[in-house]
Copies of this chain bind each other. A is one copy, B any other.
């Protein structure tokens, strides 16, 4: 069952007062279906498979609009390209497999707690954070 999503991106767009155009419908569909963290070029490619002719500038503009409304999250990993994922319900961090480029999500309450603690020790409070572990699979083969 790929459709265990509580609320679809289209619904959330409506709630935010964004117009649902033909091209947006496709973009949102692609985003909802994506379990990875595609960049704009990849999104545009996937959109084009469903409905050709959508301009890549439209994809850029749509992603910016969605990010403004906190409906998606933007990431910039070390490849220097902006990547996106539908706004997660739970915060998480990322492994990036340096050999395959694959992005895997993870979450550690303990690390989160330590971050808060260290920030506090330095007189800061955390606004947001980014933890990326660039990894490779442990050799077992």
Contact = CB atoms under 8 A, between A and B. Distances in A.
A122 B106 contact: yes
B122 A104 contact: yes
A118 interface: yes
Nearest to A108: B118
Given A108-B118, A118-B106, A135 B126 contact: yes
Given A76-B80, A106-B118, A124 B129 contact: no
Contact of A138 (B78, B124, B137): B124
A20 interface: no
Contact of A108 (B95, B97, B114, B127): B114
A82 to B, nearest CB: 8
A85 to B, nearest CB: 16
Given A108-B114, A120-B138, 11 more contacts: A76-B76, A95-B119, A95-B124, A98-B127, A106-B118, A111-B118, A118-B133, A122-B135, A123-B138, A126-B134, A130-B131
Interface of A: 76, 78, 80, 95, 97-98, 104, 106, 108, 110-111, 114-115, 118-120, 122-138, 140
